[in-house]
Amino acid sequence: MKILKSQIRDVKIGNNVTIIEPSNLYECILEDNVFVGPFCEIQRDVKIGANTRIQSHTFICELVTIGKNCFIGHGVMFINDLFKEGKPANGDKSKWKETIIEDDVSIGSNATILPVRICSNVVIGAGSVVTKDITTPGIYAGNPAKFLRKIDD
């Protein structure tokens, strides 16, 4: 049996970054002023932009890029493997898909984010499942997430 420990390993870290342990972060990039709450995992090659907050219990997988000034709620799960052939890609990364979250995006707690692109100035409601790209700013919610309304000026 091999028992490994969650750790903060080989992370490229900007100024004024805060991380609450235990969390499992490795080979990712956290820009200035990023906050990461407890019980998070952030995998290799993930990039988190400046001033973005990653709340507790959140999992961010390889091939996810998150912009600046974003808020990722508690228990948010990102996905890179769509089980396209009815099963996991089993480490064949050519079958994984990427997720791009642009700037000023707020994702509510317990949301699930399939491999998509979400444009800037979007709010995702708590508990939503995002299955398609979002290209228009606004508020989206539900399973699957649909456009609810514009953000009030």
- β-strands 41-42, 59-60 pairing: parallel
By residue count, the chain amounts to 153
Q: Residue 22 CB: number of other CB atoms within 10 A?
A: 13
19 or 63, CB closer to a copy of itself? 19
Scored b (16 or more CB within 10 A) or e, 117-127 reads ebbeebbbbeb
The yes or no reply on residue 31 touching a copy of itself (CB under 8 A) is: no
For the purposes of burial, counting CB atoms within 10 Å of the CB of 9, is it exposed (0-12), middle (13-18) or buried (19 or more)? exposed
The yes or no reply on residue 133 touching a copy of itself (CB under 8 A) is: no
* Residue from 33, 65, 110, 120 binding a copy of itself (CB under 8 A): 110
The yes or no reply on residue 33 touching a copy of itself (CB under 8 A) is: no
Binding residues for a copy of itself (CB under 8 A) = 1-6, 8, 13, 16-22, 24, 37-39, 41, 53, 55-57, 59, 71, 73-75, 77, 79, 83-88, 104, 106, 108-110, 112, 114, 121, 123, 125-127, 129, 139, 142-143, 151-152
